[in-house]
Structure 1
């Protein structure tokens, strides 16, 4: 809940085609009941989706403020990590710890885990899309529940991005650094470029995609 006191909607800048745009032009509206899932292969890969998550977290707390002056709640946002040593994303207000979900590196159990948590906004990494072998009942569940899909990646790795989200570095760098250091598999080599860039603002890029492409871009799909 610490972000509710340290971030505000005015801290975010959204850009598309080189122009400043509003949040509602590029992102879904957020309600207190929305459930967001960020899929990743490497434990710290999800840091590249951090600005998107924090934008949604901020919108979530704004919704709570509209209905109550006092609250002690966390959004139902999850990470899905195909690793035995997951990173801890509590600094992005993905909390308690059980919301960092460890899954097998296979498409079927990964999609099952996503559907079991009724995710309706799904973020997947910029992996090469491939065919995904999913049981029909699992696919139908995903189709019924997931309404928005986005692909994320480091700034050099997503050529067809629809929009970017920027935040002042001094507000979030320590949160991202703590997250990067929380995974036992994390090495200096695989820490995200966002932590090393010498800029005053952290900019991350995103592309809205369809569900089929999202399912084909799951980290597990490459090994199926």
Structure 2
């Protein structure tokens, strides 16, 4: 909660389709009960969505601000934001208020297992890396859970800039300091990798402020972008062996047709 005294929602600027906007337009109906999840696939990848994550946490604290504090009887709370590290931990996001540590979740590189982890945390706003959509197979219940609950989905890039963007978020110096503090605390990354990531961040400055872009996508597309592989991992293979790939239990991509049917 150290961020509540060093930055505010007013320190961020938003554009949607080139026009001044707000987080509420990016995430329609955004409220204190929303749970943001970001799928991270490479070292420091979550930094590429830091402007959104940090602006959203300031908005979250605005909802609770009159009650916040470390004193007895006050509310000590963090946003329900989660990082899904695919394959292994890719960074320590604690200084970006991804806290307590259980909110950094390591998952198998398997679309079904990634989506199960997302569902288990009740994610309502989903961020996925901007990769080429790929077909995959899910349990129908897993798809139904995501469809029932997820309100918004965005594509982000570890570089901070996506293709065909329609959203721009301009961050603030205090937020970027916390992003770099998180990077510095990431023992899972080598000094060489950290230095390279710092250099990449420098390319995001526009008029002295970090500027990132995103693209709104349908949930069906987001689920096709959970992984660049459609190979089933050990856990999912055990499901399918039991179910015999019975269409009653499983859903194959293309998801757009399946989800909308």
TM-score by length of 2: 0.77
**Aligned equivalent of 2:177:** 174
**Aligned equivalent of 1:118:** 122
Q: How does 1:69-218 map to 2 (within 5 A)?
A: 70-153=74-157, 157-168=161-172, 170-181=173-184, 182=186, 184-185=188-189, 187-188=193-194, 191=197, 195-197=201-203, 199=206, 200-218=208-226
Runs of 4 or more above 6 Å deviation: none
For 2:212 and 2:154, how far apart are their aligned partners in 1? 12
For 1:14 and 1:194, how far apart are their aligned partners in 2? 22
SS in 2 for 1:131: coil
Corresponding pairs, count: 222
* RMSD of aligned alpha carbons: 2.3
> Displacement, 1:146?
1.1
> Displacement, 1:148?
0.8
> Displacement, 1:127?
0.9
CA contact (8 A) 2:27 2:152 kept: no
- Which protein is bigger by CA-based radius of gyration? 2
SS in 2 for 1:37: strand
**Aligned equivalent of 1:42:** 42
SS in 2 for 1:179: helix
CA contact (8 A) 1:78 1:101 kept: yes
1:102–1:8 CA distance, 2 compared to 1 (3 A):
same
